Structure 1
Amino acid sequence: MASHGILLVDKPGGLTSHDVVARTRRAFGTRKVGHAGTLDPMATGLLVIGIEGATRLLTYIVGADKTYAATIRLGARTTTDDAEGDVVDTADAGAWTDVDDAAILAGISTLTGAISQVPSSVSAIKVAGRRAYDLVRAGESVELAARAVTVSRFDVLAQRRVDGFTDLDVLVECSSGTYIRALARDLGDALGVGGHLTALRRTRVGGFDVADAVGIDELEGAATLTPAAAAARVMPVLVVTAEEARDLRHGKRLVAQRDRLAASEVAAIDPDGALVGIVEARGNDIKSAMNMPEVQA
């Protein structure tokens, strides 16, 4: 039987997130596999995979904050806000007059903190039941609503001129739902020269780091994190007694125990180190929001 666990995979470019899920299914001999957040085929880096019962944890991982390393090319707009699209506009020499280091940093400053962002039209967001990127590929015009996101860090690590463009290597730490392609587009627009993304690598999802991930050719026999270990990376832990674990698994509340919770969602772990489930407050009590299968090996 396939193990219940969280697998960290370093996705290579050219594969979809679904491709990685399909390969994981074959490697672990189970259909019950999912992931916590899509990466575009162009992007590389950390994909958090849930196997068997651990797929129940993905809901609690997908909303974690993330870190990306990216390259933004200033000087050209594309249809997809990244290098996979067609170039629709290129800045002429006059457009660069006021684009200096200070202007770039000022533009980045306006895109840092709590911001309102319009996602790229070729995103996976659903519009009337269909993915936005499918509508765009079908030739339809798509206008997505702005959403509130938080960019906690947006640093330029390197800058260079390439074939008349300016390339910025950047590090971005952001909330879930932030589109790095949209940051590239909006920075270019703010500077008046256009911009798009040429490289993207996700290096962190919550408490999971790409340094701990396996390559796509290393899935057979790859080690997974136990549900308990994985949950502890994204939320506080509450150690419960064997009796409390049994009650929670049976849908009972821990009466008048709310003060034991350190956050709105907490991982309850039994004396054997197994994840009972995710618990939350209900009135002054503690109640399970999600229970894990009792057999997790």
Structure 2
Amino acid sequence: MNIGFRHVPFNDEQRATLDAIAHDAGRGTIWFSSEGDPSIEELATCEALMGYFPPATFKSLPELRWVQTPAAGVDRLCGDIYARKDVVLTNGSGAFGIDIAEYVVGGVLSLFRHLPAYHTAQAERSWGRQGVGRSICDSTVCVIGCGNVGSTIAERMKALGAACVRGMDRTRDIASPAFDEHYLMDEPEAALAGADIVAVSLPSTPETQKLVSARFFECMNEGTVFANVGRGVTVDQDALTAALQEGKIAGAVLDVFEVEPLPQESPLWGLENVIVTPHVAGWDDDLVNVRALFEIFRENLTRYLAGDELTHVVDRARGY
């Protein structure tokens, strides 16, 4: 039996370490090319897969017992992998918190300090002030979705001097001490009142579809900078666009969208108070993420080969 790898960013030393762990347990390793999809015949001997594989093949692999995806979100896999009750699905949750939190901080500060406007002025060789800057220090922050990513965002905001960091989640049981106040998802009026920064880090589940609705944007104010680094479908994009166009909020930092790539006709492209990036806030290839993903998989591979319980197991009922 073999352990199959594809689309994983591990270096030669990390690959050699994983090869040795597998071989010591009597397993082979196959490092599939990223060019083209491997066939069912090529995958037939794999009992475990790490990386990105065509989900439709899962149902045709009788030896398959475990799939580890580097991604934290598994919504693209659910329909195919969930049909296999005998296959454990684990994810990369916890690997991306640092990277994504730094993205949020950088994006918010960019808008707070008018950097997009200054970049435009630089291209035009125009010298002039773009307005009074703002600071994260003494601000009020609300994080919607308080898992690893949301908690790390809260910690970074607190470290930069945020006066109050609020957390919104499905329960009030939020582990990170960086949150000063805890709110449920049906309490946006209290959670979002006076918020200078609102950051969304929600997974895509049936319960989170367009959860951040027009009601949420009505609770924000003309100084709020909004960031979404979870999944695009968790935000009502039409309501967000209207809030930006009408000046109900100050700006947005957006890495995820309802449809990706963001359609050319989307008005979000042309709004000066919006930063658009192509789902790269927490990229697998970023070195801090590579190290974390390697440790997650190395630990799980050791556990799997020893017959022990795996970590980072996806709860099929919750979808994450």
Q: Same fold (TM over 0.5)?
A: no
TM-score (norm 2): 0.27
TM-score (norm 1): 0.29
Greater share of helix residues, 1 or 2?
2
Structure with more relative contact order (C-alpha pairs < 8 Å, separation 6 or more): 1
